[in-house]
Amino acid sequence: MNKTSRSLANLLLLLLLLIVSFAVTPAIADNRARTAADANQPDAVFRKMNDHPLAQPIANKEVKIEVTYDKILRSCCAPPNLVLVGKLTNVSSKPIDYLKLTLTFRNDKGEVVYKDQGYNHKAVTLGEDPMVSQALNEKPHFEPLPPGDKDTFYFQEPLPEVPRYRTCQVGISEIKRDAQLSAAR
């Protein structure tokens, strides 16, 4: 094949690619528009793929739990994560040193399929890995929560590790007062 024939073949190939791209682009755009429209519709398939059972707080007479953010974060570069954020209020008449929270996932039969624990924000160092504490040069500590005071909590769960679940609950598994650790000052 001579140089002119190759140039003509390349030009025809380029022309063919342009024709195909112009033909396919409206179909792709139409599909994207339909997907965006479906996101606003109560479609069962869309909900099944994108929704999840929202975390329900377990009532406690000493601490009010409020879930303020409950979303599955998806990324092209990482597996999906369930991010759960909330507020805690000490409704008791005594100060609380720290709170241990439990996030519990149950299947259709009510069996626990996954569980995670964490601490309120002012005591989050209590749950850190010893290597992380050493790297941050930080000893586990807490800041007490006086009566009526508020704090937050945070869970981030990698969904590939969580089996299928029907319900999710967040509750207080431990309320600590008069703790032996030194309080943060």
Residue 185 has pLDDT above 50, yes or no: no
Pick the more confident residue, 17 or 106.
Answer: 106
Confidence band of 42 (pLDDT split at 50, 70, 90): low
State the amino acid at position 135 in one-letter form. A
**Residue whose tokens read 């929704």:** 51
Exposure string over 85-97, b if 16+ CB within 10 A, otherwise e = bbebbbebeeebb
State the amino acid at position 96 in one-letter form. I
pTM above threshold 0.95 = no
Confidence band of 49 (pLDDT split at 50, 70, 90): low
